[in-house]
Each structure stands twice: as structure tokens, then as C-alpha cells.
Chain A
């Protein structure tokens, strides 16, 4: 610094550290990143109209399985974690590194709590199959989904119970005489066709398995016919499925199946929900890595890390900001507009 007349060159640009400028520029791009999602959501919300011309965006929490309490608690959790980051940074400035570490541990724990509650919410979505592309939007689609689920259970069971040899062995010497069909549906068809013969030669529980499959095969055929003839209403399909699940012979193969409630625009809702909350959760994980790196220093935490804590803090507050907007927009406002 002896060449003081060269000094101005060193002070070009902004009166903040390069790291901080970098973080703020990054946050600028992040603002656009998240407003793109949030803006698209808002626009889609109003654009998703039904025959009445009004928005038919799914808002009923009974069908969307949005948990307002979980969202509210998560808001509090993130606010508290933001508070701990800011006091951690303050402690770093005061060179009280032990205290800073303690506060950062709190932040890290709260981030884990946030993700825990988020996973609980996601778990609810997965168990109710509120996933993009999985949601029937009309009664017809709900009936179609039920048919596919029943068939899939039937085929799985058919594959595990009926051995391949049952359809490749023609002369009954238990040796394959012909190749397996290349078409999967043909395999299921032939395996189902082999059932009456298998029942004759089988005994005990094996025989009961085959008989259950044969009974279910007949029922699936009836169901297919009714659905292709467009003869089933949603309520009838629901009753029919209920009877099949309760059936004493093959009910166990279909256990747990139930009709999905049709949700108009449900797939769009699920896409938008997972896009927004998913990217937010990824940001939370990145924040945890940033704080984890500081915590990994243990007792060696020193002034060198002050900038790191400040910039991770800025990033963390931004993650908090995003949630501050996501919470009302996703959880509270739908249904009130």
C-alpha cells in the first residue's frame, strides 16, 4: 500500500467484498428463478378454467392433501433458523466463535426439522398418489386408473405364481418346448389360459392360489367389458372395486386398492407444487451444506470464516424469503379467490 497514488485502482467497483457482490448477483438470478415459478403458478391458477369459465384450480385440501398447519410451522422454523444465522454472524464479528458455532448448530437442526416436516407432507402426497401424471381428472379417467391398477396387481400375481414352464411346456414333460412369447400381454394371456390345467395338477395352497387367480381373471374380464362399453359410473366402479377387494378368494391380491378422487387440473397442480417446493427444498439442502462446512471446522472456526458465514447467511435469508411467499400463495390463498 506504499504506492498510495495507485490505491484508487484497488477500490474500483463497489464498496463491498467480491464474495458478497458475487452472492448478491447470484441472489439476483435466484429472484428471477423463483419468480418464474411463482409467476407461472399464479398465471396457471387463473388460466385453469372449467366449463364455467372460472378458475377450477384444485383448492380443496381434502383432495390436494395440503397441510396448512405443516406449512405454518415450517414458516416459523425457517424464520427461527434465519434469526440464528443472523446472530451467528453477529457473534463471528464479535470474535465469539464458540457462540457462533452454537447458533449455526441451531440453524442446521432447524433446517433438518424443516426438511422433516416437508418429507412428511411429501409422504402424504405419495401415499395418496398426488403426483404429476398419476391423477385422474375426470370420472372416466378415475375408472380407467382403477382398471389399470387391478390389472397390474393381477399380472404381478400371475407372474409370481405361474412359472414360465407352464406356457413353454407343450407335451407335459416339464421341459420347455417353445420360446416365451416376446409380447408381454401375450405372456399374461397364455399364463391365464394355463390356469385351469394347473389347478387340476396342483394341490393345497398352490391350488388355492391358482383358483383365486382364475376367479380374478374372470372378474377382470367382466370389468374390462363393462368399462370398454362405458357402462360403469364412478359410484358403480367404486362399489365394484370394493366388492373385489373384499372377495374371499382373490381379495388379498387387490388389498389396499381404492378409487382415486378425480381432481380437475390435479396433474398441473401437482407439477407446480413439486416444482416450487422441490426446488425450495433443494435450496435448503444446499444451505445445510454451506453451514455444515463451517460446522466441520469445529474448534478451528476463526475470523477467516466470517465472510463465509455472512454470505451463507444472505443465501439462507433468501431461502426464507421464498418460503415467506410460498406459504400464503400455496397454502392460504387458494380457495379464497
Chain B
């Protein structure tokens, strides 16, 4: 039982883990500020989030020191969680049917630097909006 007792009180340098987590948070903010390609930002930021989650689960939640029961609880729920998203995708994200709602008849103003409406886009927007109203 001594062994089991040791396992339930592992010696982890929690402060070091905390510093790692802070570093990761700083990294994701840096990725947002530094000019790299958007796709890379998404990948990097998600990778950092997964790294942080792993650190918290492994050390703060002591999963490193738990028995194999952890997989019995965590794997099915994680799979169901992802499965829900996959199941929703055809209907809600991919629209395998013709998607016709008020918003899909309008061109949204897309501007890089914030609120400024592009004149041409705005005119088009107005026209579409009025069309939409007549439906």
C-alpha cells in the first residue's frame, strides 16, 4: 500500500507547471499579435490550448498518477463530444441542401481594419437588404 500512497501524493513542481502554463498563454497572445498567416495562427493557438489542457490534466488533475480507469471515463465522453460536432456538420456547417435564410442573401461588409464601410460594398449591401425586406 505504501507504493499506492506515494502515488496519491506525487512530488510535482507545481509552480514550474504554472509557469509553463503562463508561458503558453503568453505564446497564444503573441501568435495573435505577430503577423503570421491566419491558418498558422489558428493551428498554433489550438496547439497551445491542447498543450495547456494536457498540462492541467496531467499534473494539476493528477491524471498521470491515476489508474487506467481514467480512459474508461474520459475516452467515451471525449469521443461523444467530438462525434456531436461531426454529426452536426453536414446540416449546419456544410449545408448539403440549398441554404436560404435572410442572412445568406446579403453580402456582409468585410473590412480588415474595423468599422469602416467600403462605399461600393455598402451600396450593394443596401440593395440586398431592401431585396431581403421584400421577401
Q: Which residues of A pack against B, CB within 8 Å?
A: 14-16, 24-25, 27-29, 31-32, 34-36, 39-40, 42-52, 56, 60-63, 68, 72, 75-76, 79-80, 82-83, 85-87, 90, 93, 137-140, 230, 233-234, 261-262, 264-265, 313-314, 317-318, 320-321, 324-325, 327-329, 332-333, 335-337
Q: A328–B103 contact, CB under 8 A? A: no
Give Cα distance in the complex from A5 to B66, angstroms. 27
Least CB distance from A92 to B in Å reads: 10
Q: Number of B residues contacting the other chain (C-beta, 8 Å)?
A: 68
Q: Which residues of B contact A72 (CB under 8 A)?
A: 25, 29
Query: Given the known A-B contacts A14-B67, A49-B95, are A321 and B115 also in contact in the complex, defined by CB atoms under 8 Å?
Result: no
Q: Which residues of A contact B48 (CB under 8 A)?
A: 328
Sample (9) of A-B pairs whose CB atoms are under 8 Å apart: A24-B73, A28-B73, A35-B81, A45-B93, A140-B129, A234-B126, A265-B103, A332-B31, A332-B32
Q: A138–B106 contact, CB under 8 A? A: yes
Identify which of residues 60-94 in chain B touch chain A, using a CB-to-CB cut-off of 8 Å. Answer: 60-61, 66-67, 69-70, 73-74, 76-78, 80-82, 84-85, 88-89, 92-94
Give Cα distance in the complex from A36 to B99, angstroms. 23
- Which of A29, A90, A261, A332 is most buried by chain B, counting CB atoms within 10 A of its CB? A332
Least CB distance from B28 to A in Å reads: 6
Q: Which residues of B contact A262 (CB under 8 A)?
A: 129
Q: Which residues of B contact A82 (CB under 8 A)?
A: 18, 56, 60
Least CB distance from B122 to A in Å reads: 8
- Interface SS of chain A: helix
Query: Given the known A-B contacts A50-B108, A324-B56, are A332 and B73 also in contact in the complex, defined by CB atoms under 8 Å?
Result: no
Q: A39–B82 contact, CB under 8 A? A: yes
Q: B49–A328 contact, CB under 8 A? A: yes
- Interface SS of chain B: helix
Complex interface bits, B89-128 against A, C-beta within 8 A gives 1, otherwise 0: 1001111000100111111101100110000001001101
Give Cα distance in the complex from A317 to B80, angstroms. 21
Give Cα distance in the complex from A49 to B17, angstroms. 41
Q: Which residues of B contact A48 (CB under 8 A)?
A: 103
Q: B56–A35 contact, CB under 8 A? A: no
Identify which of residues 6-22 in chain B touch chain A, using a CB-to-CB cut-off of 8 Å. Answer: 9, 14-15, 17-18, 21-22
- Which of B38, B57, B77 is most buried by chain A, counting CB atoms within 10 A of its CB? B77
Query: Given the known A-B contacts A43-B92, A325-B53, are A333 and B114 also in contact in the complex, defined by CB atoms under 8 Å?
Result: no
Q: B45–A52 contact, CB under 8 A? A: no
Identify which of B45, B94, B111 contacts A328 (C-beta below 8 A). B45
Q: Which residues of B contact A49 (CB under 8 A)?
A: 95, 99, 103-104
Q: A36–B81 contact, CB under 8 A? A: yes
Q: A43–B89 contact, CB under 8 A? A: yes
Q: Which residue of B lies closest to A334 (CB)?
A: B42
Q: Which residues of A contact B103 (CB under 8 A)?
A: 48-50, 56, 137, 264-265
Least CB distance from B3 to A in Å reads: 12
Q: A16–B88 contact, CB under 8 A? A: no
Identify which of A51, A80, A233 contacts B126 (C-beta below 8 A). A233
Query: Given the known A-B contacts A31-B74, A265-B103, are A62 and B115 also in contact in the complex, defined by CB atoms under 8 Å?
Result: yes
Q: A332–B41 contact, CB under 8 A? A: yes
Q: A32–B81 contact, CB under 8 A? A: yes
Q: A317–B61 contact, CB under 8 A? A: yes
- Does B34 belong to the interface (CB within 8 Å)? no
Q: Which residues of A contact B78 (CB under 8 A)?
A: 31, 35
Q: Which residue of B lies closest to A14 (CB)?
A: B69
Known: A39-B84, A44-B93, A83-B60. 7 other contacts (CB 8 A): A24-B73, A49-B95, A50-B103, A51-B105, A265-B108, A327-B49, A333-B41
Q: Which residues of B contact A60 (CB under 8 A)?
A: 111, 114-115
Give Cα distance in the complex from A313 to B48, angstroms. 23
